[in-house]
Amino acid sequence: MNVYEEVSRFYENFEGEKKIIGESEEGRALYAFFIGRHEPPVGISQAAIHGREYITALLSLAHIERGIKRGGFWVLPLTNPDGALLSEEGISSVREKKILLEMNGGTDFSLWKANARGVDLNVNFDAKWGDGVKNLRFPGPENDIGEAPFCAKESMALAAFTREISPDLTVSWHTKGEEIYWRFFQPFFRRQRDRRLAKILSRAVNCPLREAKGSVGGYKDWCIEKLKIPAFTVEVGSENLTHPIKREYLIELIERYGGALNALAEGFHGRAIHA
Ligand SMILES: [Zn+2]
């Protein structure tokens, strides 16, 4: 069973509140699961926006199973299903075979990060879009910003859903390096607030806080800049592992990162400061 089939089956069997928030460029469902209660803080946890990082989708299913003790979370395990399947199963998983083979320059798609149109979804958000040091302006396995912010169906769906929910915080799951990113040009008061929560997350998952200089246009960046909420990117898995991280490491990842949503919910203080 591939990762999309696994998340789809989980969705069919899930008895709680759930929703399909949109579809991918190849028509696959973008699933959202609600855990906890509709009381503050309500967060969004989204994973596998980069294809080859699909192990984070399985970590998200563990987050859903664990549940939440305070507030609630919308969990979106697989933001980029087409990219995940390209990485996991290769070119057989998509319709647009010829053009994707050209973009990729070969048949090995294991390191693919983008969606099925060669747009890197995590540089396609409207937050200093196009100003990143690694940004590219042509489709490919990674770093293509797209023709405009939100030109990709997946990033558009995620942004629209986030606006609809208006969460108190968000967390994004990536691989790898065991570190946390939390900054994006916040003014003083929000920086203090966000650093405090970042430290709580850091202690809960035993990962240091880092700065991603020159990295813009991501979901976390957009949440911080446009929604003015705390937003975090967690890079799971040892830097020594190779992409894509094999399923045999999932148990370790769940042990280390399984409590993250509860730590964020418990550590959150009050509503956003609109500074
Ligand atoms: Zn990533």
Domain boundaries, the chain: 3-267
Residue 275 has a pLDDT of: 45
Is 177 exposed, middle or buried, given 0-12, 13-18 or 19+ CB atoms closer than 10 A?
Answer: middle
Coil/strand/helix, residue 23: strand
**Chain center to CA of 241:** 19
The pLDDT value given to residue 96 = 86
- DSSP summary character for residue 185: S
Q: Are 43 and 267 in contact (CB under 8 A)?
A: no
At residue 272, the pLDDT reads 52
| Structural Rg of the chain based on CA atoms | 17
Separation of CA 59 and ligand 1 centre (Å): 14
CA of 67 to the centre of ligand 1 (A): 24
The rounded Å distance from CA 171 to ligand 1 centre is 12
- All residue ranges of the chain with pLDDT < 70 are 270-275
Q: Quick count: other Cβ atoms within 10 Å of Cβ 15?
A: 5
- Bridging pattern class, strands 72-76 and 169-175: unpaired
CA distance 116 to 96: 8
Predicted confidence at residue 271, as pLDDT, reads: 58
Q: Which helix (H) or strand (E) holds 197?
A: helix 188-205
Give the C-alpha separation, 108 to 127, whole Å.
32
CATH code at 3-267: 3.40.630.10
Ligand 1 center–CA 63 separation, angstroms: 19
Give the distance (Å) from ligand 1 centre to CA of residue 53. 6
Ligand 1 mean position to 209 CA, how many Å?
A: 16
